Structure 1
Amino acid sequence: MRILKWRVNVCHWTTRLGQYLNLNCQMFKLTMLSLCYNAFMSPNIILETAMEPVFWIVDHFARYMGPILMGLVLTFSSAGVIIFYLIMIPRYLVYGWHWFLPHFIFGNLLLINVIFNYTMGYLTDPGHPPQIVPEVVSICKRCIAPKPPRAHHCSVCKRCVLRMDHHCPWLNNCVGFYNHRYFFLYMVYMMCGCLYGCFMFYPLFYENFYVGKEVVFHGALYPLNMAYNYWVSKKKSYTLIAVSNGTSIKLTPPPPPTLNLTWTDHLYHHSVIFVFFLGSGCVLALGLLSLWHARLISHAETSIEVHINKNERKRLAKLGQKFVNPYDYGFKRNWQLFLGLTEGRTFWRHILLPSRHKPSGNGLQWETTTFTVDSNFDGVRIL
């Protein structure tokens, strides 16, 4: 007699299903690897491919965002300056001319430099390679034209730019060889102006934000005082009937008192808060951006070259070699070349005061730590 044993804990169809799914997954993976195989595939190529939608948005919409962002810069800057002058001049004029005049001169000097450098950064052409260049390092794949050293193609302007740093939508212009100094000085003077304005505005800001008049809502909740005044003006007095010893007494309490705040008080308060927070935000943002660009200038690099040099350092490190930036002349000399402090120009006259002097060189040929440009020769000679 055959004995049958039932095993309910084993299900053969689930085992076959698992094998079937595993086989199909392996076949799908092998098919995808066969179709997508590329010997030149790398993490950088994958990242660039993933960023293509972002690049497409920049190429098609950055040119339209430029005028909008410029309008925001001009609007907020003008509003901040107007509020500062309308509030601070009457307030500090009472301290006397001996105290007011130095601050007035210093503040206007910062303002003049901000306006000058921003205007010049917008109006000055960053520089573009001509049809014939004396030195060529590569061919631009988009312009299909020779590209001189340190030049790069701008996807927004659709042109190559000499010593391109980046395309600035706030300037609605590329930052390159001829206007890089204006861009950097605008950031520095704007940051200094905002920092100076916040310093002068802080006592008034503290008075309005924390102390001020007797209000119901203090600090950041100050705007609720307008709603409180509106509620009190609409609220009617009510009658309360109280019973005492069998006798009803009608009590009519007065409505809550309204605050003695006019629209002028509200406008004054919001203007002070707006200017202080706007200036604080600009100090933080422009301060970090200025430090980043100052670091690049100190190493004779641009925002594009710093990434190129970083990859080159990694590549040479694997070969046991050390990368040396050929355009790095040292901290002091790099700043002199960037600011154009050559041919007898001085920091006090050409940096602290508005100046339209051009940078050294032509942006087409660059002296390096091993080669120098000879003005009487089309090529280069070894030092």
Structure 2
Amino acid sequence: MKWCPGSVTHLLRCVRLRSCGRRGRSKLPLWLRKIWAYMRLLVQSLCFNTHTNTDVVFDSLFEPVFWSVEYVTRWFGLLFVVLVVILISSIVVIAYIVLLPLVFNTYSPAWIAWHVCYGNWNLVMIAFHYYKATKTSPGFLPKELTDTPFVSVCKKCILPKPPRTHHCGICNRCILKMDHHCPWLNNCVGHFNHRYFFSFCLFMTLGCVYCSISGRNLFIDAYSALERLKHLDMEKPGIPVTGMGILIGLLPPGQSTYQTAPPPYTFKDKMIHKSIIYMWVLTSTAGLTLGALTIWHAVLISKGETSIEKHTNKSETKRMAQKGKVYRNPFHYGRLNNWKIFLGVEKRSHWVTRVLLPSGHPPCGDGLTWKLFSVQNDLIPV
């Protein structure tokens, strides 16, 4: 076989052009090439097939926005966790350094025992459940499902999804019995850590309410002291004061000389008053917000729902009502049974050992299969 010199020259030119083109493309950063390829894929998806509708177009156009929000939330999750640890630690430091000495000097032995026992128990429950909620995996969808019923296919993972499984864009995985993604945990709330999340919210609310109620009188006294300190110079002009604004001496009526000056208002006293005000405002605000969130999740647990299922069940109820039927949640086993399943209570002693004390027991089931009511019971004619 003979080679033509002209054809060989042409082949070499083609190879050079291709290599030059590859070198030209390789000059772009890898992350920029990925974004460009992703944008091209979005544009091509708009005319993928005849099933394209307004929902597909909307998802494709707003996919960069969704991706940006998920990316920012994923990286800011660690900052939120650090912020939670700092806020809780600041309240604990104030409680031990400022409030505990006042308790020992003011209350009776019975009240001292109550405050010490309850406060430390509440703190242990908060720390334990927050740590477990952040470190425990919510439950991910395995790549291989054998003999597991599924209700749909995830369009992101391209895997079959069992009941109550949803895809989390921030974790970029399918979560078993997903409730929501919590940035304050930097983790998803799913089948295996839902109990830890709710227990943390509950005991955190109880701790905030406890600090708010027990520190109310201290807050009023501290606030009044700072207000008097602020307006003291204006109320008593011409009388010597310290650098903090407290009177060095007061002249009684008819006396021409100063009496012995009372102890000056020190910087430590001022910081103690400000710490008490900070603790009361923070715990009261957190108690209200976390209390509302805890009540919301308690209602959902009583109904056997998650936050996502609350919306899907509402839409299913409306859809079945248009057909003259009543929709029944297939995962609702009764209020008491729902709580037993959620908390993992199998006998009476578990209400103490698994609810009122730190417990790392796993939840009921594997999160893949669920005991369902029959279809005949779900759809009852009106």
The alignment's TM-score, normalised by the length of structure 1, stands at: 0.72
1:341 to 332, 340, 345: 345
Structure 1 residue 266 displacement after superposition? 2.2
Structure 2's unaligned 5+ residue stretches are: 1-49, 233-240, 247-262, 376-382
Task: Evaluate the alpha carbon distance shift between residue 142 and residue 47 of structure 1 in structure 2; reply closer, same or farther with a 3 A threshold.
Answer: closer
- Whole-Å Cα distance in 1 between the matches of residues 281 and 305 of structure 2? 33
Correspondence for 1:104: 116
Q: Give 1:169's aligned amino acid.
A: P
Q: Which has the larger radius of gyration?
A: 1
Correspondence for 2:368: 364
Indicate whether 1:168 and 2:172 are aligned: no
Listed as ranges, the matches of 1:200-239 within 5 Å are 200-211=214-225, 214-217=228-231
Local SS of the residue matching 1:216? helix
The alignment's TM-score, normalised by the length of structure 2, stands at: 0.72
- Whole-Å Cα distance in 2 between the matches of residues 271 and 294 of structure 1? 33
Local SS of the residue matching 1:304? helix
Give 4+ residue runs of structure 1 displaced > 6 Å after superposition: 38-42, 44-51, 228-233
Local SS of the residue matching 2:318? helix
1:302 to 303, 306, 310: 306
Deviates more, 1:294-303 or 1:128-137: 128-137
1:84-126 deviation line (CA, Å, top 9, x unaligned): 1111111010234332112101111000000000000011111
- Whole-Å Cα distance in 2 between the matches of residues 92 and 50 of structure 1? 60
Correspondence for 1:182: 196
Structure 1 residue 82 displacement after superposition? 0.5
- Whole-Å Cα distance in 2 between the matches of residues 143 and 159 of structure 1? 7
Structure 1 residue 217 displacement after superposition? 3.5
Structure 1's unaligned 5+ residue stretches are: 1-37, 219-227, 234-258, 372-383
Structure 1 residue 312 displacement after superposition? 1.1
Local SS of the residue matching 1:261? coil
Listed as ranges, the matches of 1:1-383 within 5 Å are 55-94=66-105, 95-130=107-142, 131-133=144-146, 134-211=148-225, 214-217=228-231, 260-342=264-346, 346-370=350-374
Task: Evaluate the alpha carbon distance shift between residue 82 and residue 50 of structure 1 in structure 2; reply closer, same or farther with a 3 A threshold.
Answer: farther
**Do the aligned residues in 1 keep the contact of 2:208 with 2:283 (CA within 8 Å)?**
yes
- Whole-Å Cα distance in 2 between the matches of residues 77 and 232 of structure 1? 32
Task: Evaluate the alpha carbon distance shift between residue 60 and residue 215 of structure 1 in structure 2; reply closer, same or farther with a 3 A threshold.
Answer: same
Local SS of the residue matching 1:102? helix
Structure 1 residue 361 displacement after superposition? 0.9
Q: Give 2:199's aligned amino acid.
A: L
**Do the aligned residues in 2 keep the contact of 1:342 with 1:360 (CA within 8 Å)?**
no
**How many aligned residue pairs are there?**
301
Which structure shows the higher helix fraction?
A: 2
Correspondence for 1:24: none
Give aligned-pair identity as a percent.
40
Structure 1 residue 203 displacement after superposition? 1.2
Structure 1 residue 60 displacement after superposition? 1.3
Task: Evaluate the alpha carbon distance shift between residue 289 and residue 54 of structure 1 in structure 2; reply closer, same or farther with a 3 A threshold.
Answer: farther
Q: Give 1:290's aligned amino acid.
A: T
**Do the aligned residues in 2 keep the contact of 1:187 with 1:290 (CA within 8 Å)?**
yes
Correspondence for 2:19: none
- Whole-Å Cα distance in 1 between the matches of residues 291 and 274 of structure 2? 25
Correspondence for 1:381: none
Local SS of the residue matching 1:215? helix
1:176-231 deviation line (CA, Å, top 9, x unaligned): 0000000000000000011111111111101011256842349xxxxxxxxx9779
- Whole-Å Cα distance in 1 between the matches of residues 92 and 57 of structure 2? 47
**Do the aligned residues in 2 keep the contact of 1:184 with 1:293 (CA within 8 Å)?**
yes
RMSD: 3.0
